[in-house]
Amino acid sequence: MAWPWMAWPWIAGAWIAGAWIPGPPTPRLGDDPAGTEIRPLASPFSLGMVTVNPTPFLDLVAMTTLETAVASPSGAEAVGSHSLGLPDFSSASYKDAYSRINAIVIEGEQEAHDNYVSIGTLIPEQAEELSRLARMELKHMRGFTACANNLGVTADMPFAKEFFSPLHQNFQTALAEGKVVTCLLIQAILIEAFAISAYHIYIPVADPFARKITEGVVKDEYTHLNYGQEWLKANLATAREELEQANRQNLPLVRKMLQQVAADASVLQMEQEDLMADFLSSYQEALVEVGFTNREIAKMAAAALVG
């Protein structure tokens, strides 16, 4: 597959620098923005390319790992790792940032559950499969709740609800209008690509307990992304125009969310440029699978730049 090297490093750089929107990057709610270091993206950047089709065997392993890890949380697993170059998971600053990041993840998993159930009302013949995906999201939510408990952190849920509210609103509007293509783009492509990239960057710097949970979750998220890709691919002829419009309305929201999470993510040793580069990589790969050409994808990203 040809990689659109000319377009994507530039787009990623623009996302990171916030160069294509007027004014400064959106600050994280109620935070000192000084913690966000803005650096140019190295080009060509090294990305962990996304593998989209996990085998059923891997899914089984992931579920087993997740359930085992949830069943036996141990605070002892989470302390003292900063000597290995990892964050100090017991520091006040780590716990403070984690209270918001963890809440975002819990809220995201809960909303993902609700969204798949809702999409099932728009595609009744798929309701059973969608309810299977929804149940996986609840399991993810329980896993991340256990991660917070393991670190002695209370998730800041009001913060997370506000964080998701623009995307949530757009999903609800599309749902009320019966726009299944838009709902699938928001949930099964944009949100799943966001989750996959964030979990991907989080795993190497997570505490041992959370790492096990997240490794199990991220494999499930590929299944969800795959679901959206396959449905949209099968319906591309009729979905194309709505997809482009939904992309124009929602991709800028994801960019803002990535900017909003940057300061807290950096306390967890997750860097903004890695998050954005990985997101763009996952998103680009998903749109290729759906059937867009690299040029069309670059145009979709460009349309979002001015949105």
Residue 11 binding target from Fe ion, ligand PL3, none, CB below 5 to 8 Å by type: none
104 binds, among Fe ion, ligand PL3, none (CB under 5 to 8 A by kind): ligand PL3
According to the binding rule CB under 6 A, does residue 221 interact with ligand PL3? Answer: yes
Q: Scanning residues 100 to 129, which ones bind Fe ion (CB under 5 A)? A: 109, 112
Whether 79 contacts 89, CB under 8 Å = yes
CA distances from 95 to 27, 79, 147, 148, 180 (A): 20, 12, 11, 9, 38
Distances in Å between the alpha carbon of 171 and those of 164, 222, 249, 255?
A: 11, 21, 11, 17
Report the amino acid identity of residue 263. Answer: A
Q: How many CA atoms lie within 13 A of 129 on its CB side?
A: 11
CA separation for the pair 186, 167 (Å, rounded): 8
What is the spatial distance between Cα 275 and Cα 265, in angstroms, rounded to a whole number?
Answer: 9
Q: Which one among 89, 202, 222, 283 touches ligand PL3, defined by CB under 6 A?
A: 202
Q: Of residues 137, 156, 274, 289, which one binds ligand PL3 by CB under 6 A? A: 137
In this chain, which of 224, 228, 255, 300 binds Fe ion, going by CB under 5 A? 224
- Cβ-closest residue to ligand PL3? 108
Sign of the C-alpha dihedral computed for residues 192, 196, 198 and 199 taken in this order: positive
> Judged by CB under 5 A, does residue 219 bind Fe ion?
no
Q: Which stretch binds ligand PL3 (CB under 6 A): 39-47, 98-106, 243-251, 282-290?
A: 98-106
Give the ranges where the chain is alpha helix by DSSP (H): 8-17, 56-71, 92-122, 127-151, 157-176, 180-184, 192-202, 208-234, 236-267, 272-290, 294-305
Q: Collapse the DSSP code of 306 into the 3-class scheme (helix H, G, I; strand E, B; otherwise coil) and give the result.
A: coil
Q: Which is nearer to ligand PL3, 212 or 224 (CB)?
A: 224
Instruction: Please tell me whether residue 109 binds ligand PL3 under the rule CB under 6 A.
Output: yes
Beta carbons of 286 and 228 less than 8 angstroms apart? yes
Q: Is 102 in the site for ligand PL3 (CB under 6 A)?
A: yes
Radius of gyration of the chain (CA): 18
**Is residue 101 near ligand PL3 by the rule CB under 6 A?**
yes
Output the smallest distance, CB 144 to Fe ion, in A: 9
- Asked whether position 89 contacts ligand PL3 by CB under 6 A, the answer is no
Using CB under 5 A, which of 140, 212, 219, 255 touches Fe ion?
Answer: 140
DSSP state of 123: S
Q: How many residues bind Fe ion (CB under 5 A)?
A: 6
Question: To the nearest whole angstrom, how small is the minimum distance from the Cβ of residue 109 to Fe ion?
Answer: 5
Query: Judged by CB, which is closer to Fe ion: 137, or 274?
Result: 137
105 interacts with, out of ligand PL3, Fe ion, none, CB within 5 to 8 A per kind = ligand PL3
Using CB under 6 A as the criterion, which residues of the chain lie in contact with ligand PL3 when the complex forms?
A: 101-102, 104-105, 108-109, 112, 137, 140, 144, 147, 191-192, 194-195, 198-199, 202, 221, 224, 261, 265
Using CB under 5 A as the criterion, which residues of the chain lie in contact with Fe ion when the complex forms?
A: 109, 112, 137, 140, 221, 224
